[in-house]
Amino acid sequence: MLIFIEGGAKSGKTSFAEHFIQQRQGGRKVYLAAADPQDAEMSRRINSHQCKRQNAREQWVTIEQPYDLMRCIEQVQAGDHVLLDCLTTWLSNEMFSSGSWHVQMGPALMLEALSNLQKKTATLLVVSSDISHQSAGHPDMIQFLKVQGRLSSQIVKRADLAGMVNYGCLRSMKGEWQ
Amino acid sequence: MDFIVGGTANGKKEWAMRHYQEKPILLWHSFFKADISECVLPTGQNGVLVIEAFDEAVKKHLDQPEKLQQWYKTIRNWENEYQDRKLAIIGADINKGIVPIEKKDRQLRDEVGLWYQQFMKEAGQVYEVWYGLAVKWKG
């Protein structure tokens, strides 16, 4: 099952996604973290998320993979329920940190990695940040918005469930959420 | 008139192409590619005139908004000449996020917001496209 959730900063999207994954029956609960602690602020954010996950009903298995998600496919097991947090950070790492971003192939490779993860797992829930409703002046930003928009459209097209989270509440856009 | 709005690269164009596939598209004018002066209004009496990237039109005419307002009246009149004509305007929602640093960008954001309020009032149908999925706001 593929699920896509989008929300703004501190919208509660990750908490919602964590709760959703924790409710799934059986299988490991896997937190696939794309965030890379490049500075003190990001380290604090990561630490805050880690502390929250420690109080979970079922223990999380954390995999840290900032880019090239195919590298972690061996760490994922059949029947896992995976929360990928988040698409925006992953794309940012691929485009600006990996050193191997290819304009044509980059998005296709990301979709292929998602497809392989989805095939191997019971649930793959992709969390994403809502960044597409703003004006952009810098060419890198315009390019980033375009790639993220197209990637998100492709993921929503393939997803069984899709929705937005605002203020901790879900607005369903696709599928029957329980 | 239909108004189709949504975030950048959210699949608005693709959605519109699917939505209007039953009707003849008389002209698809994209402001990504051309300005007002290159838009020759079609003479057909039955079909759709699609105006893509209206936010880009606002950007192009930021210093002379009267010209765009006049042109908007022209395309509305074109639509009203025959019952089976339809005007469909597509625009990107650029009105959220942090306040832009550049004055021109702030001006653009405000102008686009005002245009979209007008479209919301005047359109028969309004759709918001979110990654290829549409939510009907009006009609």
- Residue B11's domain comprises 2-138
- Note the pLDDT of residue B93: 94
**Using DSSP, how many helices (H) and how many strands (E) does chain B show?**
4, 6
Residue pLDDT, tens place only, B60-112: 999 999 999 999 999 999 999 999 999 999 999 999 877 888 899 999 999 99
- Among A49, A81, A102, A133, which one carries the catalytic annotation? A49
Q: Which residues contact A121 (CB under 8 A, 6 or more apart)?
A: A27, A30, A76, A78, A79, A80, A81, A82
Residue pLDDT, tens place only, A21-54: 999 999 999 999 998 877 777 777 777 777 777 7
- Note the pLDDT of residue A14: 93
CATH code, domain carrying B124: 3.40.50.300
What is the token pair recorded at A26? 């059986």
- Residue A135's domain comprises 2-174
Q: What is the DSSP string of A149-173?
A: HHHHHHHHHH-SEEEEEETTEEEEE
- Note the pLDDT of residue A38: 72
Question: Which residues on chain A are in Cβ contact (under 8 Å) with B14?
Answer: 153
What H or E segment, with its residue span, contains residue A114? Answer: helix A105-120
Distance from the Cα of B17 to chain A's closest Cα (Å) equals: 15
Instruction: Flag whether pLDDT at A88 surpasses 80.
Output: yes
Number of domains in chain A: 1
Q: Are A170 and A164 in contact (CB under 8 A)?
A: yes
User: B39 preceded by cis ω (within 30°)?
Assistant: no
Question: Which residues on chain A are in Cβ contact (under 8 Å) with B135?
Answer: 173
Q: Are B34 and B56 in contact (CB under 8 A)?
A: no
Question: Which residues on chain B are in Cβ contact (under 8 Å) with A132?
Answer: 7-10
Q: Are A58 and A22 in contact (CB under 8 A)?
A: yes
- Note the pLDDT of residue A77: 96
Closest of A7, A15, A23, A20 to residue A171, by C-alpha: A7
Residue pLDDT, tens place only, A92-151: 999 999 899 999 899 999 999 999 999 999 999 999 999 999 888 889 989 999 999 999
CATH code, domain carrying A17: 3.40.50.300
Can you name the residues that pair with B30 across neighbouring β-strands?
B52
Q: Are B115 and B37 in contact (CB under 8 A)?
A: no
Q: What is the DSSP string of A11-25?
A: SSHHHHHHHHHHTS-
- Note the pLDDT of residue A169: 92
Which of B9, B97, B133 shows the shortest C-beta gap to A156?
A: B133
- Note the pLDDT of residue B120: 94
pLDDT, mean over chain B: 96
- A138: annotated active-site residue: no
**Pairwise CA distance, residues B29 & B14, whole Å:** 14
Name the residue with tokens 């004018």.
B29
> Which alpha helices (H) appear in A9-104, and where do they start and end?
13-22, 40-54, 87-96
Number of domains in chain B: 1
**Pairwise CA distance, residues B6 & B25, whole Å:** 21
| Mutant choice from A3, A88, A129, A135 vs B, greatest count of B C-beta within 10 A | A135
